[in-house]
Amino acid sequence: MTEAPPHYIQLKPEHPTPSEVFNVSYKAILVVEAGSTDEWRTLVCNWLVSTGCQYALVWGAACEEWEDRIDETSVMFEIGRNGAYSGDAVLMTTHHKREELSEVFWFSKNCAFVDGVEFQDVLILHIAHSGRATELLKAYHFA
C-alpha cells in the first residue's frame, strides 16, 4: 500500500490546539523542538487522542514526558467514554530519544503498525517557535 504524503502542522508552545480534525485513524509524529508547560502538553495530548490518533511517535525535547502524557490521556479518554479502562483501546506510543529524526521517519513508514488498524493519514506535528514544513516533509519523503 502506498502511503499518502503526511500532513504538517506547526504548533507554537502555549498556543491553542489546531482546528483540524481527522476523524480517521492516523499516526502522529511529534517533532518537539520547544519546551512547554504540563498543562499545555495535556491539552495537545487530549487533541491527539480525541481526533483519532492511534500511533504516536515522539522525538525531541522531553520526548519521554510527551509519551507518558499521551499514554495517560489515552487511558483517561477510554475511562471517560466507557466508564472504565478495559485495555481494548489501543494507542501505541514510542519515544525516540537517541535516534536521528530521519530514523524516526523511517520507523514510522516501515515499522509503526497496529494489528487491525489501517492508518488513513500521517501527521507531522511540529512543536516549535518557527516552522520547517518543507524541510520536514522532504525528510519524511526520503526516509
Whether the full predicted model's pTM is greater than 0.75, yes or no, is: yes
Sign (positive or negative) of CA dihedral 122, 57, 111, 97: positive
Query: Residue 10 forms beta bridges with which residues?
Result: 126
Q: Each residue of 49-72: pLDDT tens digit?
A: 999 999 999 999 999 999 999 999
Q: What is the CATH number of domain 7-142?
A: 3.40.50
The CA distances from residue 30 to 11, 46, 60, 82, in Å, are: 10, 14, 8, 27
Report d(CA 45, CA 42) in Å as an integer: 5
Record the cell numbers describing residue 29, joined without a space. Answer: 509524529
Q: Which residues of the chain have pLDDT under 70?
A: 1-3, 23, 81-89
